[in-house]
Structure 1
């Protein structure tokens, strides 16, 4: 069985779409309903769909604690350049942490969605 897609509700579909396009290599395939829904496709074929969060849900309570989207990058140079591009964009990523032989950092997408970016060296 293969994972087909991930569907996430966000406050600002256009801003979060741009975040994934600009920093994580997704391509915007389609938008619908005045930026109420977007389909993005990653370079590995993974599909990410974004839908506008219902207005009655407060942004700080939109996601359970520790909920996040995680990305693995191929090498440490890409980890560091991804973090640097997020710093330049004003996204305020955390420092790179060393954890069980891997390196990773965290940042928030527009609206508060937590993103983890990591590199795990070959065993």
Structure 2
């Protein structure tokens, strides 16, 4: 079984779409409404659907604590270049940390969605 898509509600669909396009290689395939809905595709045909949060929902109430989207990159050079790209864009990623042989860092997409980027060495 393969994970086909992820549907996430965000405050600003256009800003989060741009974040995933510019820093994580997604392609914007479709938008609907006025900043209401976007469909992005990533590696292996993965679909990321973004929908605007209902107006009465505060961003901090949208997801449970520690909810995040995680990316695994193929090599350490890509981890380093992604981190540098986010720093240059003013996204304020955490420092890269080592944990049990892996390396990872965290950052927040526009609106506060937590993103993890990691590299696992081959076993």
TM range (shorter): over 0.9
Alpha-carbon distance in 2 for matches of 1:60, 1:89: 23
In structure 1, the partner of 2:12 is 12
In structure 1, the partner of 2:92 is 92
In structure 1, the partner of 2:111 is 111
Structure 2: 5+ residue stretches without partners: none
Alpha-carbon distance in 2 for matches of 1:62, 1:99: 29
Q: Please, what is the CA RMSD of the aligned residues?
A: 0.7
What does residue range 1-123 of structure 1 map to in structure 2 within 5 Å?
1-123=1-123
Structure 1: 5+ residue stretches without partners: none
Alpha-carbon distance in 1 for matches of 2:91, 2:44: 25
Normalised to the residue count of structure 1, the TM-score between the two structures is 0.98
Normalised to the residue count of structure 2, the TM-score between the two structures is 0.98
